[in-house]
Amino acid sequence: MTMPLIRFLPEAVEDLLETQRWYGRREPALAWDFAESFAAAVERIRRDPRSFPLIHGQIRPLVLRQFPYGVYFREEGPRATSCAGAGRRRPRSSMSIRGW
């Protein structure tokens, strides 16, 4: 079985990197732990995106267990999943999850 492609919108990547830098300024090991936790979360999305509840239309959240950080995503067919935003509570990108 082919795993779906995960596509991150530029705003999500920017927020992810900003968050990792924030943790790194506090404690370098936290930045590493955050990156590992995020990578594991992406793999969970890839393996079974439908295991996460729908919160608005086709949008689903995944909240990291060790960090107050969530990834908001939707499936775009059987071979692609798009992540619109990532952030401490809701995506901080200029587009809201309602308009995505």
Can you list the domains of the chain with their CATH numbers? 5-87 (3.30.2310.20)
Nearest to 61 by CA among 78, 84, 31: 84
Average pLDDT of the residues of the chain:
82
pLDDT at 40: 93
Nearest to 46 by CA among 97, 86, 94, 8: 8
pLDDT at 86: 65
Q: pLDDT tens, 34-82?
A: 999 999 999 999 888 999 999 988 899 998 988 988 888 988 887 778 8
Question: Which distant-in-sequence residues (6+ apart) come within 8 Å of 11 by Cβ?
Answer: 84, 85, 91, 92, 93, 94, 95
C-alpha–C-alpha distance, residues 35 and 17, integer Å: 9
Q: Answer whether residue 94 shows pLDDT above 50.
A: no
pLDDT at 88: 61
C-alpha–C-alpha distance, residues 76 and 78, integer Å: 7
pLDDT at 95: 43
